[in-house]
Structure 1
């Protein structure tokens, strides 16, 4: 299996000074002077500043976009674009939001350069440029598929600034994997288009940056993951209590639950995508919280698990399974279960992991949006390890062994499980 299908964890988009591989453009002396002045007086670019954060806490702005509009009070747009704008946007620049805000705030001559049309063009560069989109996690690395975009034609200046803030903060790779899986399972259309209403899920930029990054992103895109009957992956905030999917008792989720120091999810905890504890589950009987809670390795893993559970409960799944000693083939299954849950698995598009009171689970997704079906390997450890290969691939024959009826799924699974374990599952 081509290793290019591996999960790629993108880092946040680097700051202006450290992005060696990003395309640069020259600025006029006046523009540089404006940037320097802003640096001395405080900026409300993506990195933020203490003064701006304090203003946000004190009630400045009622939404993520409102806190960014103040510097953009500028005169009527001229009919012709300024030459500086041509340099900044029309030559493939990655001109940053912080630069836009500095210029518009500190330079009178630049105050009319950045209206809605210009901001839309800046935002379009992130969603149409393969390099920038992949770097921000808005595109899939392997095939360049667009996973997240913005409904920018319906956004005003404030919302466009907020969208640029969210985009330049970067780090969408984990959430994009969850969105891609939801798209495969029929729960959303790809790419997901973030609207102004989605941006308004956060009261201001300070609140957006205060949440773990993947949780902040889920608050915006969760309602686009549609389970039918008016149920989405929406989050409901009640003080310190957060509910997911339904605003009812039993649907609470605990972000960053208390875990002992030796717990694997504590040892491998990622601050931007922390563990989650939840009792929410979906079965053939519908949304019914189980008797016990499960600990999920991360917010994104939790989203993917719920999407898979719902898919399993609403579709005809064909499967084959075996109970296998976890130490077979140099402890291959034991390694898959105990390695960091964030470690990519060769041949898989994504993975999801949880620990319950009676065992642990890791599911390895084999397919992507290019396939017409969904297939995954489910590994459960109790005393021995149970390995299920699950698929919705259309059978190519009425009878026969699993490997005969579902040849593509079998081929994908063999690449992940390797020869010894594959022979135990498919050839016995």
Structure 2
């Protein structure tokens, strides 16, 4: 079947056999018009499985889009995602892949994958297969979940914890579970939260809060269902499981101190009270949760260019006191004894943390009272 021509001034959407089009291609065959180019073109995925789009044309389109689209931090999407050439070879899967790439934002899940890669849980770019794409039967099934959760269902099994992965399980009754398809591992998406709560005030429809019981503890030998916590978002939940696993399975050094939340010009108070979705300067990502021991915010200091992982934990104790802990897998400086100050043993981590903590840093590293 040949191309369908339409003008943006047409009152009716172009259609063949009653099926309206998502996009219409230009004369170059693999050059598709965007919706904004064509005006009143309505969406439909069903038509594409019957259109004469050679697989190689779709593959070219997919590869070009992966390299063209940039994430919020400027990274090309191709550096994070790719699609397996062997299994994603039929028109149906290729069309679905094109739709996932061109019509969906990937910034939140890309941060999850970049963090997972840094912690050794996956290798980027992630190579998605036809099975991954077919996690959702169609657009309607995909759209029945918040976007970030729908995307995490596609990529989650590639985040490997060794004896488990960040796989999302869904049941016919609407229950969603993560990591283990067992009672106690359910993830309550969009739970009710008090109107005055920070997570309610800054709730995102595409990346809503979640309640879960899932935690990793070395003393229990792995994942366990413990006390419920509420993560600020689906992406925050995913990042927390990653840091949780990393902390208990790697050699971690830390320095900690309890401080008044107003010290350093109220820097800690500001970090705990701002939207949990607000990026923090000089930090690659952040994550937040609320639970049995007060609200917690993590600030990730390192990125893929570092050969270690470092982050800051800011725990609200609820009485005006904040517990600040700087944690790292950085190797200690040569010649330094275990009793040497943290800032001397882990100079790079300290340098990164000073920037993130600002005026609070002297209290953490230099003994300022």
Q: What is the correspondence of 1:362-381 to structure 2 with a 5 Å cutoff?
A: 362-381=297-316
1:57-72 maps to which residues of 2 (within 5 A)?
none
Secondary structure, counterpart of 1:347 in structure 2: coil
CA distance change for structure 1 residues 303 and 367 in 2, over 3 Å: closer, same or farther?
A: same
Q: 1:191 aligned to 2:96?
A: no
Contact 2:21 2:47 in 1 (8 A): no
Partner of 1:280, secondary structure, is: strand
Out of 208, 211, 214, the residue aligned to residue 145 of structure 2 is: 211
Deviation digits for residues 180-221 of structure 1 (CA, Å, limit 9, x no counterpart): 000000101111121110011112111112211000001100
Contact 1:45 1:165 in 2 (8 A): no
Q: Match for residue 228 of structure 1?
A: 162
The CA deviation at 1:269 is 0.3
Query: CA 1:307 to 1:157, structure 2 compared with 1: closer, same or farther past 3 Å?
Result: same
SS of the equivalent of 2:225 reads coil
In the alignment, the residues of structure 1 paired with residue 247 and residue 78 of structure 2 have an alpha-carbon distance, to the nearest angstrom, of 25
Q: Given the alignment of the two structures, is residue 421 of structure 1 paired with residue 360 of structure 2, yes or no?
A: yes
Matched, 1:31 2:31: no
Out of 342, 352, 358, the residue aligned to residue 293 of structure 2 is: 358
Partner of 1:394: 331
Match of 2:80 among 147, 170, 180: 147
Q: Quote the Cα distance in structure 2 between the aligned partners of 1:144 and 1:232.
A: 23
Kept after mapping to 2: 8 A contact 1:140/1:147? no
Give me the whole-angstrom Cα distance separating, in 1, the residues matched to 2:59 and 2:109: 23
Matched, 1:121 2:60: yes
Matched residues in 1 for 2:9 and 2:136: separation?
28
Cα separation, 1, equivalents of 2:13 and 2:87: 32
Structure number having the greater helix percentage: 1
The equivalent of 2:205 in structure 1 is 271
Distance across 1 between alignment mates of 2:297 and 2:196: 19
Alpha carbons of structure 1 residues 105 and 172: separation in structure 2 relative to 1, 3 Å: closer
Cα separation, partners in 2 of 1:105 and 1:258, compared to 1, 3 Å: closer
Give the Cα–Cα distance (whole angstroms) in 1 for the partners of residues 278 and 26 of structure 2: 47
Where do 5+ consecutive residues of structure 2 fail to align?
none
Aligned to 2:351: 411
Q: Structure 1 CA distance, aligned partners of 2:7 and 2:293? A: 63
| Contact persistence 2:26–2:32 (CA under 8 A) | no
Tell me by how many angstroms 1:84 deviates.
2.1
**Aligned-residue offset at 1:165:** 1.3
Q: Distance in 2 between matches of 1:351 and 1:206?
A: 31
Superposed CA deviations along residues 388-408 of structure 1, whole A, max 9, x for unmatched, are 000011111332211111111
TM-score, with length taken from structure 1? 0.75
- Choose the corresponding residue for 1:84, options 8, 27, 31: 27
For residues 19-49 of structure 1, the C-alpha deviation after alignment (integer angstroms, 9 at most, x for no partner) is xxxxxxxxxx963359959715453528xxx
Cα-to-partner distance string for 1:333-363 (whole Å, 9 max, x where unaligned): 0110110000010010000000013311000
Question: Does 2:322 match 1:385?
Answer: yes
The number of residue pairs the alignment matches comes to: 348
Q: In structure 2, do the counterparts of structure 1 residues 391 and 269 end up closer, same or farther at CA, with 3 Å as the change threshold?
A: same
Deviation for aligned residue 1:157: 0.6
Shift of 1:425: 1.0
The answer as to 2:187 corresponding to 1:287 is no
Give runs of aligned pairs for residues 170-181 of structure 1, distance below 5 A: 170-181=104-115
Query: 3-state DSSP class of the match of 1:417?
Result: helix
State the structure with bigger RCO (CA 8 A, min sep 6), 1 or 2.
1
Cα distance, 1:259 vs. partner?
1.1
Other structure's SS at 1:363 match? strand
C-alpha distance in structure 2 between counterparts of 1:117 and 1:256, whole Å: 41
Q: Secondary structure at the match of 1:32?
A: coil
Calculate the aligned-residue CA RMSD, in Å.
2.9
Query: What secondary structure, in the 3-state scheme, does the structure 2 residue paired with 1:309 have?
Result: helix
What is the alpha-carbon distance in structure 1 between the residues aligned to residue 109 and residue 196 of structure 2?
27
Q: Distance in 2 between matches of 1:345 and 1:407?
A: 21
2:301–2:312 CA contact under 8 A, matched in 1: yes
Using the alignment, how far apart are the partners of 2:78 and 2:365 within structure 1? 33
